[in-house]
Amino acid sequence: MDAYKREFIEFMVESNVLKFGDFTLKSGRKSPFFMNAGAYTTGSQLKRLGEYYAKAIHNTYGDDFDVLFGPAYKGIPLAVVTAIAYSELYGKEVRYCCDRKEEKDHGADKGSFLGSKLQDGDRVIMIEDVTTSGKSMEETVPKVKGAADVTIVGLMVSLNRMEVGKGGEKCALDEVKDLYGFETAAIVDMAEVTEALYNKECLGKVLIDDTLKAAIDAYYDMYGVK
């Protein structure tokens, strides 16, 4: 496992973003783990988060892209901090763009988007926190494709939960790839999280012991990709 992946897992735990216990997800599924990217709230946390996204994008997709697109709302700060990190880490200026939930009909920046305007020929990286069902892409991809003649290079999320999406056979990231034809990736997936934390100390305690590992295994027996 790459060092930045292991560091990112510890960072999620340290930031109280990745939790273990008993959680009911929006889908109604009972899960032994939960991730909430909204818990990144401080300047230092957001700086580090952007750096992890930038490293993962650089390692996965390279640097041949022009725009980071973050779907509203959680994708907005992700696109901003990752654009800053890309400039600092790799000396590459990339633009950020985000959509609005409601179109603004006045002012110099009226329209459906924040940040840079999408232009014909742009190569775009989509950036999200976590994709469980792929629903946000249903709303976002048509907006991006309709704004200009762009190429979507890929999607980067922070955590791949590795559970079946709406189709019931593939994980949500694979469903997005098959549906829209662009690559999908995550900084880490739950198999890597489990590998890094199972019966190992993180911040002074063991987060995934035998009991929790059994609960995670049972969850994937029910909801994991077969």
CB 70 within 8 A of CB 98: yes
Phi, psi for 70 (deg, rounded to 5): -115, 115
Q: Which of 30, 104, 117, 135 is catalytic?
A: 104
Segment (H or E) for 151: strand 151-160
- Is 58 designated active site? no
Distance set, CA 207 to CA 10, 15, 38, 116, 197 (Å): 11, 14, 21, 42, 6
Is there a contact between 157 and 101 (Cβ–Cβ < 8 Å)?
no
**28 vs 217: CA distance, rounded Å:** 18
Nearest to 116 by CA among 133, 130, 99, 95: 95
Kindly name the residue from 26, 101, 106, 205 that is annotated as catalytic: 106
111-115 and 95-104 beta bridge pairing = antiparallel
Among positive and negative, which fits the CA dihedral 13, 17, 18, 20? Answer: positive
State CA 117 to chain mean position distance.
22
User: Which residues are bridge partners to 18 per DSSP?
Assistant: 35
104 annotated active-site:
yes
- Catalogue the active-site residues: 104, 106
